[in-house]
Amino acid sequence: MLYYIIACFGLTCILKYGTILNRIRIFLCKNKILKDLFDCSLCLGFWSGVILGIHGYLYTYESIFHLLPLISAGMCWMLDSIIRVIQTIELYLDKKLENNK
């Protein structure tokens, strides 16, 4: 199950930030509903969990995979928030170092 949770986060990151999908994402984001989906790590994490949960259930027949979308949504949101905080700190420190030169 842990592998599926990590895979959900990876899928969410690829769909939300992956440069290889820029053209597809730009095309899909012309639709407001899909734009809102791709802007929200909680929503995208949920649907990543649905996709991988179906795969996990069909592969193992364990009913715990019914909870994967909910677990994935929370984990993707939390990890994405942590990454954003780290990036904000990094940008702040870069700016501060640049001003000291």
Q: Please state, as a whole number, how many other Cβ atoms lie within 10 Å of the Cβ of residue 78.
A: 14
Does pLDDT of 84 surpass 80? Answer: yes
Name every residue whose Cβ is closer than 8 Å to that of residue 37 and which is 6 or more positions away in sequence.
43, 44, 47
- The one-character DSSP state at 40 is -
3-class secondary-structure state, position 87:
helix
The span from the CA of 8 to the CA of 48, in Å, is 5
pLDDT score for 71: 93
Angle at which helix 41-60 crosses helix 32-39, to 10 degrees, equals 80
Whole-model pTM: value is 0.81
pLDDT score for 42: 92
pLDDT score for 99: 83
